């Protein structure tokens, strides 16, 4: 069974997340009682990964709403808007929480104006919309996995197997389930076309070593861990078929923000002629941003670099620079794999124009 990062029981209104700070040493679930707990869990990275952040943020609001009494639809609408905006402030780079908040605020506005809907009706419609997001994310990821696997296989001859590199964590722990880039790897494995996957350690937070490696071992997918500075040597020696990574935000021109280190892998891939793919739900494309220059890059505390757990590894007194993400220019990206198909960066604008309302 695939790992579950998010568990929500509608009947008991109980939300728990797998505490990703403790993995792989301990598998412990953390109960989230409402928006304040949701904000903290996202900000501290107990839950992380762009889609999972949005789902946990919205579910923490659902939990809180069910325990509260509202006097009017107007009061409910104001409460929803304030709390969603607060959740968006928990981490700035990934677009998914912001997109979900905008959709839900639009819905709250519509429902509060609709005279045929009661206060209870508005609350239950709102809750069911949040639950649908969870289901949609899993369905989208499965489609991303299959689209990506077919795309990568279309570049190899006959029925030969492929060797891929991935970065950071994009699997069940970063999404509602299945994963984006890791979903592509899962689909390749299911098709019996995956020879091997190489996952990077992903310093400084080590999502690759702690989380992706954990998922790959759990799923019995043939995999090897490499340090971030081994990518070029690996590409030179191991005949890599493709790189596939996730995304925190894709600009309208295809520039993509993802975990720090993604950009350097894309540069190295270009040099070695290895196709570099981004796998993400269509909602990760921010049509309001024309290029990656406008993406806000989160900077995280020095301690993530200077310490491993409680153990200091960096010399005392050294200054640190710790951006959590970088932007890979569209020119280095062979394709953006979504649930709606695979788009070259130069096809994105048209895709956004024609598919926005699907």
Ligand X SMILES: CSC[C@@H](O)[C@@H](O)C(=O)COP(=O)(O)O
Judged by CB, which is closer to ligand X: 108, or 279?
Answer: 279
Residue closer to ligand X (CB basis): 194 or 260: 260
User: By CB under 6 A, how many residues form the interface with ligand X?
Assistant: 17
Considering only residues 299 to 358 of the shown chain, the ones binding ligand X according to CB under 6 A are 324
Q: Which stretch binds ligand X (CB under 6 A): 7-15, 48-56, 99-107, 186-194?
A: 48-56
Residue number, 80 or 285, with CB nearest to ligand X: 285
Cα–Cα nearest to 50, from 343, 282, 331, 291: 282
Q: Give the binding range for ligand X (CB under 6 A) out of 42-50, 152-160, 312-320, 343-351.
A: 42-50
Cα 181 to the chain's mean position, in Å?
Answer: 9
Instruction: Decide: is 246 part of the binding site for ligand X (CB under 6 A).
Output: yes
Does residue 244 touch ligand X according to CB under 6 A?
A: no
Binding mask 260-299 for ligand X (x = CB under 6 A): ----------------------------------------
Closest separation in Å from C-beta 259 to ligand X: 3
Rounded CA separation 357/122 (Å): 23
Q: Per CB under 6 A, does 41 bind ligand X?
A: no
Q: Which is nearer to ligand X, 80 or 335 (CB)?
A: 335
Residue 326 among the catalytic residues: no
Residue reference for tokens 């991303």: 144
Cα-Cα end-to-end distance for the chain: 32
User: Is 248 among the residues that bind ligand X (CB under 6 A)?
Assistant: yes
Catalytic residue from among 37, 228, 248, 326:
248
User: Toward ligand X, which CB reaches closer, 126 or 277?
Assistant: 277
Q: Which residues are catalytic?
A: 248
Q: Which residues bind ligand X (CB under 6 A)?
A: 48-51, 94, 168, 170, 174-175, 180, 207, 246-248, 258-259, 324
């Amino acid at each position: 069974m695939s790992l579950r990062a998010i568990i929500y029981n509608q009947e008991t209104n109980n939300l728990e997340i797998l505490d990703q700070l403790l993995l792989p040493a301990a598998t412990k679930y953390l109960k989230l009682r409402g928006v304040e707990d949701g904000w903290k869990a996202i900000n501290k990275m107990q839950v992380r990964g762009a889609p999972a952040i949005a789902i946990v943020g919205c579910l923490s609001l659902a939990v809180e709403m069910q325990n509260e009494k509202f006097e009017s639809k107007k009061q409910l609408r104001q409460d929803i808007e304030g709390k969603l905006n607060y959740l968006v402030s928990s981490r700035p780079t990934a677009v998914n929480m912001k997109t979900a908040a905008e959709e839900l605020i639009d819905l709250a506005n519509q429902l509060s104006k609709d005279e045929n809907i009661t206060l209870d009706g508005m609350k239950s419609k709102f809750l069911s919309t949040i639950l649908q997001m969870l289901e949609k994310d899993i369905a989208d990821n499965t489609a991303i996995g299959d689209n990506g696997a077919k795309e990568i296989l279309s570049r190899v001859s006959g029925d030969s197997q492929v060797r891929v590199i991935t970065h950071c964590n994009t699997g069940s722990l970063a999404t509602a389930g299945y994963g984006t880039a890791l979903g592509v790897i899962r689909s390749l494995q299911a098709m019996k076309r995956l020879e091997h996957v190489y996952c990077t350690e992903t310093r400084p937070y080590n999502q690759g070593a702690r989380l992706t490696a954990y998922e790959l071992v759990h799923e019995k997918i043939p995999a090897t861990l490499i340090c971030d500075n081994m990518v070029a040597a690996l590409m030179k020696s191991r005949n890599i078929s493709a790189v596939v990574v996730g995304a925190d935000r894709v600009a309208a021109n295809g520039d993509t923000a993802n975990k720090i280190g993604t950009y350097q892998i894309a540069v190295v891939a270009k040099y070695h002629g290895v196709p570099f793919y981004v796998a993400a739900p269509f909602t990760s494309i921010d049509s309001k941003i024309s290029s990656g220059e406008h993406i806000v890059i989160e900077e995280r505390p020095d301690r993530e670099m200077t310490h491993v757990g409680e153990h200091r590894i960096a010399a005392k007194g050294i200054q640190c620079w710790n951006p959590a993400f970088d932007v890979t220019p569209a020119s280095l990206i062979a394709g953006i794999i979504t649930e709606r198909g695979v788009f070259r960066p130069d096809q994105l604008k048209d895709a956004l124009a024609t598919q926005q309302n699907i």
